[in-house]
Amino acid sequence: MAKILDQAEFTELVLNGSGVALVDFFATWCGPCKALAPVLEDISAEIGDKANIYKVDIDENQNLAQEYRVMSVPTMKIFKNGQVVETIVGLQSKTTLMEKLNYYSN
């Protein structure tokens, strides 16, 4: 299951973490974000320890949304060893996201 992070957890798990993490910047009022949620749950269950899936509520963490220049939701950022390696905007398919995560985790 994708864990919803606050600022402290984001710093600890994403920025100071190792390996690959996909962070979904979302809003509770966003329709495409709601459609993306089960896709991310499937990916989280399937990908195992190759990558971590996290979520950040932009309304609860406006400073993170500003820092990472989130202009629309959903916006996903893939981090590798604490650094952003790719930004993905909009609703994406499970296949597309799995391909990207597999690419960065190898």
List, by residue number, the catalytic residues.
30, 33
**What's the Cα-to-Cα distance from 79 to each of 41, 48, 84, rounded to whole Å?**
18, 16, 4
Joined tokens for residue 22: 């996909």
With both helix axes pointing from N to C terminus, report the angle between 94-105 and 31-47 in degrees, rounded to the nearest 10: 50
Count of all residues that appear for the chain in the document = 106
Phi-psi region of 34 (alpha: psi -120 to 50; beta: other; left: phi over 0): alpha
